[in-house]
Amino acid sequence: VALLVFLCSVFPVYWMALTAFKPTVDIQSATPTFWPSTVTFSHFATAVDAPGFWQFWRNSVVVAGGGVLLALGVALLAAYAAARMRWKGRRAFVLMVFVAQMTPWEALLIPMYVIARDTDMLDKLSMLTLIYFMITLPFTIITLRGFLAAVPVDLEEAALVDGCTPFAAFRKVVFPLLAPGLMSTSLFGFITAWNEFAFANLLIIKNQGDRTLPVWLSSFSNTFGTDWGATMAASTLFMLPVLLIFLVLQGKVTSGITAGAVKG
Amino acid sequence: MVAPTVLAAAYLLGYPVVRNAVISLQDFGVRQLVRGGAEFVGFANYAEILGDPKFWSVVGRTFVFTAVNVVLIMVLSTFVALLLTGLRKGMRLLVMAGLVLTWATPVIAATTVFQWLFQSRLGVVNWVLVELGFSRYEGYSWFADGTSTFGILVLLIVWQSVPFAALVLYSAMTTVPSDLYEAARIDGASGVRIFTLITFPILRPMFALILCLEVIWVFKSFVQIWAISQGGPGEATTTLPVYAFQVAQSLQKYDIGAAVSMITVLLLTLVLLAYFRQMFKQEREL
């Protein structure tokens, strides 16, 4: 039974990779083979050579990376405020961030479109960056707040007593301890933005060169027709960075999600 | 330096929601989008939606879709989590690796792969079905029929959602003290009774949290449906988020679309309230 569960969860991914490596003759034969007779990289070549591949790839990296960096900067300050400072409305703020984390972003497609039009940001990658910033922000604040709360206040106070300014105390004492948390949080945010499809699909309409990888992949039939080998190769390439990040983070992702979304 | 950041964050997160609410109360079409100057019409948009039988069929479909998915996800992930607790270490790591792999698959990559699996002429699913003796599936086109498209979407979403739920439930199950199980086993309780009398009651808050999360996630799922069928064929897979998008995008009735979104958000807020009640209850217990 365990094996069955394993097979069910792995099969689609296996089939994707397999198709990507199979020669076209095998893909189109009436009896599918479950092991490649010969391995070919030609599908990957087709996918990479497809018009605009590198540009879409670059767009995706810029948009996701930019959004996450912005979110990280703002979230660091906000998380610090939420974890360390006493101020009126702090509880309300934390609660609001939780609500924002849970809101269905897809429901906000329409106002985003209207806002983008009003501010002349339609068809611009900067708009997408801002949206990814917003989408990743709540999650980043919540997890960073958790990591910050785990850093003992005494350490910071000791630094203050020794004559550090609050900022220097933060930079020299708290920040190094926080670095692993920052790393995993930002990588996770990056995946979220990397995978995002709905907004990228809606907001980049006229300027086809500014599309991102998910949108490009979903319109694969326009690009590759019925060349499933190339399509699967493109999917594999798209999935690879995410998989690598997951491998790096492994357990941290699970605990980060449970800490962020379930326990808080 | 901190105060402005907090304010800016609050503003950024709040503004689109407010804007959505405002649009839903206005007469907002293409003309207003281009020229501005939308007029307030009160709840006329809501009245129009609620009087539209199509809206109600979409709502009904969304509930069925959510119910089917969530029930399947909860049952399967509970089953997988229980399975994981009973496995030897090597096998357990293997299954967990498979689950993580599934979980890591980007939504768009998964939808593309599922389209390939169920492709009518060369898809492997049809081949397996024919080999098993169901010859009517030769060249069967899954995406031409409403019910089968619906079924594939359910399969896709369940496939993607089970790993998270199963892994969280599994890690929760490992926190249950093992002497409780031993005591039950000595008393001669069966596996089913152990689950219903020990595991489930102890982990009930955890089950409730995951249930709420999955309801929200499935209810709002848009990308999978849009990428595979765009709500079709006909309107067989049009759920509320897809409907809101269609009305706004292709009919350019932004006001109606915004109102549908507001209704979606309000419905989900109810689930969210249940989630937060559960969460705070659990926090107090900790």
pLDDT tens by residue, A196-254? 877 877 777 666 677 778 787 777 655 666 677 777 788 888 888 888 877 776 655 45
Kindly tell me the sign of the dihedral angle through the C-alpha atoms of B146, B152, B153, B158. Answer: positive
Could you state, in chain order, the average pLDDT of each consecutive group of 10 residues for chain B (286 residues)? 69 76 75 68 76 83 89 90 82 82 80 79 76 71 78 86 84 79 80 80 80 82 79 74 79 79 81 75 60
What pLDDT, on the 0 to 100 scale, is given for residue B285?
A: 54
What whole-number distance in Å separates Cα of residue B188 and Cα of residue B182? 10
B231 vs A6: which has the higher pLDDT: A6
* Three-state SS annotation for chain B: CHHHHHHHHHHHHHHHHHHHHHHHCEECCHHHHHHCCCEECCCHHHHHHHCCHHHHHHHHHHHHHHHHHHHHHHHHHHHHHHHHHHCCHHHHHHHHHHHHHHHHCCHHHHHHHHHHHCCCCCCHHHHHHHHCCCHHHCCCCHHHCHHHHHHHHHHHHHHHHHHHHHHHHHHHHCCCCHHHHHHHHHCCCCHHHHHHHHHHHHHHHHHHHHHHHHHHHHHCCCHHHHHHCCCCCCCCCCCHHHHHHHHHHCCCCHHHHHHHHHHHHHHHHHHHHHHHHHHHHHHHHC
B82 reaches A (C-beta below 8 A): no
Is the confidence at residue A257, as pLDDT, over 50? no
Is the per-residue pLDDT at A20 higher than 80? no
Contact indicator for B46, B24 with CB cutoff of 8 Å: yes
- Per the omega criterion (within 30 degrees of 0), is the bond before B233 cis? yes
CA dihedral sign, ordered A99, A204, B247, B223 = negative
Answer whether B220 sits within 8 Å of A106, measured CB to CB: yes
Residue given tokens 């933005």 in the structure block: A193
Task: Tell how far CA B162 is from the center of its chain.
Answer: 11
CA B246 to CA B232: how far, in whole Å? 11
The label of the residue with tokens 């009973």 reads B86
Note whether A263 contacts B282, CB cutoff 8 Å: yes
Q: In 3D, which of A199, A109, A118 has the Cα closest to residue B264? A: A109
- Asked if B241 is an interface residue toward chain A (Cβ–Cβ < 8 A), one would say yes
Partner A, chain B 151-190, Cβ-Cβ below 8 Å: 159, 162-164, 167-168, 171
Does the distance separating the beta carbons of B258 and A77 come in below 8 Å? no
B252 touches chain A (CB under 8 A): no
Closest by CA to B106, choosing from A246, A152, A107, is A246
Contact of B213 with chain A, judged by CB distance below 8 Å, is answered with yes
Q: What is the DSSP letter of A108?
A: G
* Tens digits of residue pLDDT in A67-90: 888 888 888 888 887 777 777 777
Over the stretch A24-52, which tens digit does the pLDDT of each residue have?
767 666 666 666 666 777 777 777 777 77
Which residues of chain A make contact with B14, given a CB cutoff of 8 A? 96
Residue A57's identity, in one-letter code, is W
* CA A167 to the chain's CA centroid: 30
ipTM: 0.74
Cα–Cα dist A70/A190, whole Å: 11
pLDDT (0 to 100) of residue A264 = 31
Beta bridge partners of B26: B40
pLDDT at A150 over 50: yes
Give A121-139 pLDDT, tens digit per residue.
777 788 888 888 888 888 8
Phi, psi of B181 (to 5 degrees): -65, -45
- A12 versus B154: the higher-pLDDT residue is B154
The rounded distance, in Å, linking the Cα atoms of B30 and B9 is: 30
CA distance B78 to B153: 21
Q: How does residue A92 score in pLDDT terms, banded at 50, 70 and 90? A: confident
For residue A262, the model assigns a pLDDT of: 38
Contact of A228 with A27, CB cutoff 8 Å: yes
Q: Which of A169, A85, A70, A95 is nearest to B3 (CA)?
A: A85
Q: What are phi and psi of B104, to 5 degrees?
A: -75, -15
Question: For A59, what's the count of Cα atoms within 13 Å in the CB-facing half-sphere?
Answer: 25
Partner-chain residue, chosen from B116, B119, B168, that has the shortest CB–CB distance to A258: B168
**β-strand partners of B27:** B39
pLDDT number for residue B72: 92
Average pLDDT, chain A: 75
pLDDT(A148) > 50 = yes
